[in-house]
Structure 1
Amino acid sequence: MEYTLQTDETVSSGIERIVDGKVEAGLAEIDGDADVHETVHEVRKRCKEIRAAMRLVRPVLSTYSEENAHYRDAGRRVSDIRDAHAAIETFDDHVEPAAIEHGALDEGTLAEVRETLVERRDELAREQDVKARLAAVRRDLLEGRERVDTLPIATEGYDAVAGGLRKSYKRGRNRMAEAYEDPEFERFHEWRKRVKYHRYHCRLLRQVWVGPMKARRSALKDLSDVVGDANDLAEFTMLLADEELFDPAVRESLERVCLGRRAEYHREGRALGERVFTEKPDRLVDRVGTYWRAAHEYDPER
């Protein structure tokens, strides 16, 4: 099911359709035959998409807190396993290429680092019984699906989504300022979450004016990727410090590589973020509201 509110449906019916579709997609992922770590990743994405859809109507959804907690906790069942696999992806996509570029470590040492990360992930998956955890997530999704048709969304039209849009955008704007004021991992981590929610909301509202909303969502995707890459490197560095998987010399080289690459991503993210979050929240909400009214009241193709 398309992750977009349609102009010929009410907000409540659209949110119900979207949530139901994402639940079904999550169930299909769990019941499929894909690699277990890919399944974990995709199922967690479905839970995040569901939460973002509900967050868009948060001010008019009286059960938002309960529903959000339900899908948040479902995703958390497999978060440690996902994080262990993400460390390998971060190594492959960012750490190893940077280490080779700067001549930080030889190929043999890098191969040993990767092998250690894979062994760590596989041991964790065995300890936590990843298949049993996915079965528990499946039960969570089935339970949530029983409530989809009765989500108590109190109003319709732009009033139903304006408050959630404003909140997600304002938080993204504020978290950006905080992150660059005090560039600690937790602040950039919070900013990335808010960027992703705003990106999901632009996707949900795509039909109000396809071209501009698609362009905005594309810019948010680029920003989310850049900030996400920086955060992944920060988490990789914390893994090195917390678990002492490698000898001190190797850890020092890897940490130095990660620090340099993170600084590059933070500079890139600043330029993207300044463009995306330049408007004040009320102005952005008013502008999208104008798009909404044009699409819903005046579009001759409706």
Structure 2
Amino acid sequence: MAYRLEMSESTSKGFARIAAEQIDRARRDIARRDTVEGIHKLRQRCKRVRAILRLARPALGKHYARENRRFRDLARAVGGPRDEQVLIDTFDALMAAHKGRVDRRQFTPTRQQLLKRHRQALETSALPDMAWLAAELETARDAVDDWAPAIDRFRTLREGMAETCRRARQAMKQAEGADDEVYFHEWRKQVKYHRHHCELLVNVWKAPMEARAKEVHRLADLLGEEHDLAMLALALGDPEAAAQGQDKAETLLEMIAKRRVTLQGEALLLGRRLFAEKPEALAKRIGRYRAVAREEAREVRSTVS
């Protein structure tokens, strides 16, 4: 089934189902022949389960820290050279955005340096221990039955939603006017949690929740590109890159800086709209949607029976 809570199921059973499905899919992902793609999928599954835990955190007690740490560590263990590939993709996207305005060939040495970094990462990064991953995922799957029953009231999810929105709003305010990419990166993390929460609760009222999830996804993409460009700028400024004698590095850094300013501005405009409503008000409104949706589901069941 989809990554969403059904209105015909209780919150505890629904979240147990969703978490188990994500873990089961992660186990299949790491068994794929394409290990790199499988690992990428695994990291996505871990983020989705962590979003479930974040939404239900008020009810989970000690279970939250244990399970959140478990899935955080799983994702970190399989990071590998993907970050270096992201630098190459970001460089290519920057060149595409300036097509017709710059001669891409003059930046060939820079791309070659990024490719070299990627090759080195591939050579020095050992493949993750698949047996360990499988064992950890099996343990995580069994643990779902321990923590999911604690999510016995939707009020818990309202509180979790409000807290995530509150953190996203605070991170947005800290990022506004800041010149440090750390603030925008923190905002991005909170936005991605909120995106997953909107997806989980989309069935409370599909039209507005799907629209919100789409816009939150767009905001996460803007912040993701901003972060990737910040990482590319750092890579271009490291000693090894400087040793290449690339006289075009300054031009590249200027292009990156201008694009980041544009992305930050677009993200802040969108973020102010998405988080204009107070977190508690948004969470209560979604709770009211859910109450109506649950009543409709009961009416459908009684009609069928």
Whole-angstrom distance in 2 between the partners of 1:126 and 1:219: 39
Task: Give per-residue Cα distances to partners, 1:213-254, cap 9 Å, x unaligned.
Answer: 000000101111111111110011111223532434232222
Q: CA deviation at 1:186?
A: 0.5
Aligned pair count reads 297
Whole-angstrom distance in 1 between the partners of 2:148 and 2:218: 34
Aligned partners of 1:37 and 1:85 also within 8 Å? no
Number of the residue aligned with 1:9: 9
Whole-angstrom distance in 2 between the partners of 1:186 and 1:210: 34
Number of the residue aligned with 2:191: 195
SS at match of 1:244: helix
Number of the residue aligned with 1:26: 26
Number of the residue aligned with 1:53: 52
Q: CA deviation at 1:92?
A: 2.0
Task: Give per-residue Cα distances to partners, 1:98-157, cap 9 Å, x unaligned.
Answer: 454442xx333434433332332232122121x335554333222211212221543423
Aligned partners of 1:78 and 1:134 also within 8 Å? no
Aligned partners of 2:191 and 2:220 also within 8 Å? yes
Number of the residue aligned with 1:159: 155
Number of the residue aligned with 1:262: 260
Number of the residue aligned with 1:86: 86
Task: Give per-residue Cα distances to partners, 1:260-293, cap 9 Å, x unaligned.
Answer: 1111111111111111011011111111111011
Q: Which runs of 5+ in 1 are unaligned?
A: none
Number of the residue aligned with 2:143: 147
TM-score in terms of structure 1 length: 0.92
Aligned partners of 2:78 and 2:128 also within 8 Å? no
- Map 1:45-194; keep pairs closer than 5 Å: 45-62=44-61, 63-93=63-93, 95-103=94-102, 106-129=103-126, 131-133=127-129, 135-151=131-147, 153-194=149-190
Alignment identity in percent?
34
Whole-angstrom distance in 1 between the partners of 2:31 and 2:265: 42
Aligned partners of 2:4 and 2:199 also within 8 Å? yes
Moved more, 266-275 or 133-142: 133-142
Moved over 4 A (4+): none
Number of the residue aligned with 1:230: 226
SS at match of 1:182: coil
Number of the residue aligned with 2:300: 301
Whole-angstrom distance in 2 between the partners of 1:199 and 1:190: 14
Q: CA deviation at 1:75?
A: 0.4
Whole-angstrom distance in 1 between the partners of 2:182 and 2:293: 39
Whole-angstrom distance in 2 between the partners of 1:99 and 1:298: 52
Whole-angstrom distance in 2 between the partners of 1:247 and 1:45: 38
Number of the residue aligned with 2:290: 292
TM-score in terms of structure 2 length: 0.91
Whole-angstrom distance in 1 between the partners of 2:256 and 2:97: 8
Aligned pair 1:41/2:40, yes or no? yes
Task: Quote the RMSD (CA, aligned, Å).
Answer: 1.9
Task: Give per-residue Cα distances to partners, 1:42-68, cap 9 Å, x unaligned.
Answer: 211111011001111011012001100
SS at match of 1:31: coil
Aligned partners of 1:176 and 1:188 also within 8 Å? yes
Cα 1:240–1:162 shift into 2, 3 Å: same
Q: Which runs of 5+ in 2 are unaligned?
A: none
